[in-house]
Structure 1
Amino acid sequence: MTLALALLAAAAVHIVTAWRADALVATDPAGAARMRSDHPGALLALARAELQRGDAGAAARTAQQLLAREPANGTAFAVLARALGDAGGDARQLERYRIAARRAPRDVSIRGWLVAHELQAGDFPAALEHIDALLTLPSRDRARLLESVAKLAADPAFADALAVRLGERPRWRADLLRVASAMDVATADPLFAALQRNADLSASERGPWLDALIRQGRWGEAFARWAGALPGPPQALPLLYNGAFAVPPSNAGFDWRVRRVDGVVFERVADSDGSFARLRFLGSPVGRAGLEQPLLLAPGRYRLGLVARASDLRAEPGLEWSISCAGDGRRVATVRIAAGPRWEAIAAAFEIPPDDCDGQWLRLINSATPGVAQRIRGELELRDLRIDRVGP
């Protein structure tokens, strides 16, 4: 046999052996390693299998054998870190895991170990480095991890560190805030409060948090957090906010909420006298017109005033403003809107009772019997809404 043929035969044997070893990696890693002692995939699979069955010593030796061949193999170093455990002391173990994270940044188990270690040590910024890495990886457990992080934020110190991290705009910011806002207020409040202190909470992010406070009956806290983010001192705020529609409704906090209602189109319009709201009704049955605002009025006597005009508005018996207690839904005020084509001032007195009415809702409603009788067509325009206290 010539030298060339001998080399070709040797190469063929090598290729066939490698192919057979490849085929055995998934089902028999030990057999694949025996067939090709330098096969990276076989050695890695064998080390993992040895670690899984509890033979840490064998797993460490196999991983070291692979690292001798491929020193940059991060996954092998991750297996070695887990296999050696705390051998050599806590400091050596931590260093091995940190090296493993650098060499195998996508290894979930390594990141998980480091998260637990840093949390236990109270190094929340370091823990968040690894949490960030985990949340940027595709994983079926991502939703569970987001929930766990949101729950950890019940600790004010962790919430402060998390708020700083969120200020860097990680890709998972919106998802985490959505999960947090759906949790009980005691859990979510430290995180949202930290973000607000950092002036790093948009109106759209603040809204679900404030709504959660309102749903739980914590109207005073919701108002304080909403007012604290507005320019100027809270005591200067009117009892009915943005009644002149000087700025677009934010749909958050104690500003106007414009709900989507079939057959109703809301529009904010500017003219020489300022701004006003226009509601166009398209002939569909309407119970609530979709324009409403939460209020925080103390017990006492008040006056609701507004200016309105209508254009070909056909509604029987007509539209009206309703103020009701948030807790039990008691209606404490009804102001019927009987407006013509010219701007007309409308006013009515009402009283907030001393019991069980800590928060209220102002809503534009149609009091007609539900069904065909609630059909509305035409336009209604509103401006200069205000509430004034007139007595105890």
Structure 2
Amino acid sequence: MMRALAVGAAFAALVIAGAGLRTHLALSCARGEVAFGPCPAAAVSGSAEELAEIRSRIAAGPGDSWAYAALARPGVQGGEALLPAATRLAPNAPNVVMARANAALARADWAGAVPPLVQLATHYSAQTGDPAALLARIAASGHASLLRPFVGRHSEWFPVLVDEAVRLQLPLEGLVPLVAHANATGAMPTQRLRAFVRTLKRRGRWGDAFGLWLAQHDGRVPVLYNANFDLAFEPDGFDWEGPADAPPKTGAVARTRPFPGRRQVLEVDFTGQAYVTPVVRQYLMLAPGRYRLTGQFMATRLRSEAGLAWTVRCVTGTQVADAPAFRSTAFTETGGSWVTFEFSFDIPPSCGPVASLQLDPVAPFEATAGIRGTAYFDAFSLKKSPS
């Protein structure tokens, strides 16, 4: 281990304003190594004696890479002039890499800042998100293409960048093509990709979210995904899903299960307690027009005053409409027999492109009063009717 000296470290805070980014450098400090965390306000870059000692080392040994790296660090007067020599002698020294990043950021040279920031993020993001956060700001400001050559199978820093972009509430639309590329190259773990899609949905970025969902499924999905309920539900996408804010002990639980004589069916078990609506839903990307929904239904010991209904509700931004564009007739007790149903409904031009197909109680008060019994659904099909 090399002897530690007081080191001044600086990182740029990128601010999105007007047509682009502006940067300013904020000093931080460390002892012997680069630091990314906050430091006392009184921190200085190093005493005159320390700097004189380092310059003496360079005079005595022009190839002293550590001395060049120490002087080239941000905050040292004249340090930037030594940066080219420090880069040749110690290209991977943390202080040198950080100084290169800072120098580029100070010039608003995003192309020059990205490589050293990626290097820092690769080796230091386990301890701090700062390099990844700076990269996230660069990407979100319209320069995501600069990062694309660095995103590959072993880019473990990239999911950290995405997390930082979400944490900082940065605009995400510029990141979407980069996330799609990361997914294609194996740099985006499935769980992190799903979390990003969830964030896009919560922000009302439905087109971007659906595009990434398509990318996960080789670019092709039916209008109604998992219509036969044969697949386990995929969270945070455009599959069937329950309410995100349902309490642990809810009065309605929707799940897939095997059923005699069939493969998997949707089972909705009501316990008589209050529950959050909708019981289950799927967000659909539907063009305006007329659609036909078919399926099969069975209920056993279903105790409900008004029954259940499938509704279609328009989605605007992040808001699902209170008034449905369509409500089916009521589903009530069938005595354990399967019955086939068919409904047609219209998606008006004002509704698209996102609608929610969801299962609700016909009488809203029953979500509070509770329902008892079990409802089953299977063999759904949703098709657009000919014009």
Q: What TM-score do you get using the length of structure 1 for normalisation?
A: 0.70
Report the count of equivalent residues.
328
Q: What secondary structure does 1:178 align onto?
A: helix
Partner Cα distance (2:338, 2:384) in 1: 24
- Higher radius of gyration, 1 or 2: 1
- Indicate if the aligned counterparts of 1:314 and 1:376 stay in contact, CA closer than 8 A: yes
- Indicate if the aligned counterparts of 2:281 and 2:357 stay in contact, CA closer than 8 A: yes
CA-CA distance at 1:361 after TM superposition: 0.6
Of 259, 275, 287, 2:243 maps to 259
CA-CA distance at 1:89 after TM superposition: 5.6
Partner Cα distance (1:251, 1:135) in 2: 27
Map Cα deviations across residues 302-346 of structure 1 (whole Å, 9 max, x no partner): 121121111222223222111100016141111232242111112
Note if 1:244 corresponds to 2:239.
no
Partner Cα distance (2:366, 2:265) in 1: 29
Map Cα deviations across residues 75-134 of structure 1 (whole Å, 9 max, x no partner): 8664344457458765214335x36x54xx5xxx55431333467483544431122233
Map Cα deviations across residues 279-319 of structure 1 (whole Å, 9 max, x no partner): 22222112414311111111111121121111222223222
Partner Cα distance (2:118, 2:45) in 1: 31
Of 316, 331, 338, 1:337 maps to 331
Taking every aligned residue pair, what percent have the same amino acid on both sides? Answer: 22
Note if 1:52 corresponds to 2:68.
no
Of 361, 381, 389, 2:384 maps to 389
Q: What secondary structure does 1:250 align onto?
A: coil
* Structure-2 residue corresponding to 1:347: 342
Partner Cα distance (2:96, 2:310) in 1: 60
- Indicate if the aligned counterparts of 1:111 and 1:134 stay in contact, CA closer than 8 A: no
Partner Cα distance (1:367, 1:144) in 2: 51
Partner Cα distance (1:90, 1:112) in 2: 11
Note if 1:135 corresponds to 2:125.
yes
From the superposition, tell whether residues 95 and 294 of structure 1 become closer, same or farther in structure 2 (CA, over 3 Å).
same
Map Cα deviations across residues 33-57 of structure 1 (whole Å, 9 max, x no partner): xxxxxxxxxx98xxxxxx937765x
* Structure-1 residue corresponding to 2:100: 114
- Indicate if the aligned counterparts of 2:144 and 2:174 stay in contact, CA closer than 8 A: no
Structure 1: gaps (5+ residues): 1-24, 27-42, 45-50
- Indicate if the aligned counterparts of 2:310 and 2:358 stay in contact, CA closer than 8 A: yes
Q: What secondary structure does 1:128 align onto?
A: helix
Q: What secondary structure does 2:272 align onto?
A: strand
1:149-228 maps to which residues of 2 (within 5 A)?
Answer: 149-154=135-140, 155-164=143-152, 167-168=153-154, 170=156, 173-181=158-166, 183-228=170-215
Q: What letter matches 1:226 in structure 2?
A: W
1:50-129 maps to which residues of 2 (within 5 A)?
Answer: 52=44, 58-63=49-54, 78-82=69-73, 83=76, 85-86=78-79, 90-95=83-88, 98=90, 102=93, 105=94, 110-117=96-103, 120=109, 122=111, 124-129=114-119
Of 315, 324, 347, 2:304 maps to 315
Q: What TM-score do you get using the length of structure 2 for normalisation?
A: 0.71
Partner Cα distance (2:269, 2:257) in 1: 12
